[in-house]
């Protein structure tokens, strides 16, 4: 799973962190990463602090620009406000979570929206994983 936001400094970091935390808690074998189309030099200090308050350490994250290889290696791509025309061409499924507000404007609302989306995505993936186990 690859989460994208323009600066790879807030929303995509939140999404990847929550995805990994919740997938692990559910015992699911999925993991996520994040990238940006125009990455900042550093993650948002407010996002790093908010995640640390929840016991999630992203202090080692360094924003990076998404590459065609990143897209090809992802099982699925989730865009949180990226201009998709700027992305390298890929045959990967791209979902858009355009209803997530900027974390710089309302971090609590962004976190809530991302957590809701992550829960729905993991419900979907858990169902798909169960179907594969049942039907091979």
> Could you tell me the pLDDT band of residue 136, with boundaries at 50, 70 and 90?
very low
Task: Give the pLDDT of residue 87.
Answer: 73
**In this structure, what token pair is assigned to residue 61?**
């994250």
DSSP string, 81-131: S--GGGSPP--S-EEE-TTPPPTTT-HHHHHHHHHHHHHHHHHHHHHHHHH
CB 16, CB 33: distance < 8 Å: yes
- Mean pLDDT computed over 102-114: 97
What's the order of all strands across the beta sheet hosting 33-36? Answer: 33-36, 2-5, 77-79, 94-96
Give residue-wise pLDDT tens across range 23-73: 999 999 999 999 999 999 999 999 999 999 999 999 999 999 999 899 989
pLDDT at residue 132, rounded to an integer? 43
Residue 88: alpha-carbon gap to chain centroid: 18
What is the sign of the dihedral through the CA atoms of 2, 47, 18 and 114? negative
Q: What is the pLDDT of residue 91?
A: 79
Q: What pLDDT is recorded for position 83?
A: 81
Is pTM beyond 0.85? Reply is yes
Walk me through the domains of the chain, giving residue ranges and CATH numbers.
Answer: 2-135 (3.40.50.2300)
Those residues whose C-beta lies under 8 Å from the C-beta of residue 6, and which sit 6 or more positions away, are 36, 37, 38, 81, 82, 83
| Residue 126: pLDDT over 60 | yes
């Amino acid at each position: 799973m690859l989460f994208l936001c323009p600066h790879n400094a807030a929303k995509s970091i939140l999404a990847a962190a929550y995805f990994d935390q919740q997938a692990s808690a559910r015992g699911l074998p999925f993991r996520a990463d994040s990238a940006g189309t125009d990455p900042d030099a550093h993650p948002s200090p407010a996002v790093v602090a908010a995640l640390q308050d929840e016991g999630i350490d992203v202090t080692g994250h360094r924003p990076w620009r998404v590459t065609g290889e990143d897209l090809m290696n992802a099982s699925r791509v989730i865009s949180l406000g990226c201009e998709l025309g700027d992305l390298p061409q890929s045959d990967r499924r791209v979902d858009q979570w355009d209803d997530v507000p900027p974390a710089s404007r309302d971090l609590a609302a962004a976190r809530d929206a991302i957590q809701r989306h992550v829960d729905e995505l993991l419900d979907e993936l858990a169902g798909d994983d169960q179907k594969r186990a049942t039907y091979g």
